[in-house]
C-alpha cells in the first residue's frame, strides 16, 4: 500500500511539473508574440515617421521655391517701377 501511495505521489508531482512547464512554455510563446507585435508596430511607426519626414522636406523645398519665385517677382516689380520712374 505504501508503494502505491508513493507512486501516486510521484505521478502527481510529475503531473504538476508537466502542467507548470506547459504554462511556462505558453508564457514564453505569449512573450514572443508580444515582441513580434511590438516589432511590427515599430516598423510601421518608422515607416510613418519616414513618410512625415519626406512630407516635411517636400514642403520645405516647395516653400523655398515659392519664396524664391516671390523674391524674383518682387525684384522684377521693383525694376519695372524704377524704370518707369526713370522714363517719366
- Angstrom distance (rounded) from CA 50 to CA 58: 12
pLDDT at 86: 76
Q: How many domains does the chain have?
A: 1
**Containing structural domain, residue 72:** 1-88
Residues in the chain: 88
Structure confidence by residue, pLDDT tens digits, 53-68: 999 999 999 999 999 9
Residue 85 has pLDDT above 80, yes or no: no
Query: What sign does the CA torsion over 52, 58, 64, 69 have?
Result: negative
Structure confidence by residue, pLDDT tens digits, 2-38: 988 989 999 999 999 999 999 999 999 999 999 999 9
Residue 38 in grid coordinates:
511590438
Residue 43 has pLDDT above 70, yes or no: yes
Please tell me what DSSP assigns to residue 1.
Answer: -
More confident residue, 86 or 61: 61
Amino acid at each position: 500500500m505504501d508503494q502505491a501511495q508513493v507512486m501516486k505521489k510521484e505521478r502527481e508531482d510529475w503531473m504538476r511539473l508537466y502542467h507548470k512547464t506547459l504554462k511556462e512554455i505558453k508564457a514564453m510563446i505569449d512573450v514572443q508574440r508580444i515582441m513580434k507585435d511590438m516589432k511590427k508596430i515599430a516598423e510601421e511607426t518608422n515607416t510613418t515617421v519616414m513618410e512625415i519626414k519626406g512630407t516635411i522636406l517636400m514642403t520645405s523645398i516647395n516653400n523655398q521655391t515659392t519664396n524664391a519665385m516671390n523674391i524674383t517677382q518682387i525684384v522684377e516689380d521693383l525694376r519695372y517701377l524704377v524704370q518707369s520712374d526713370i522714363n517719366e
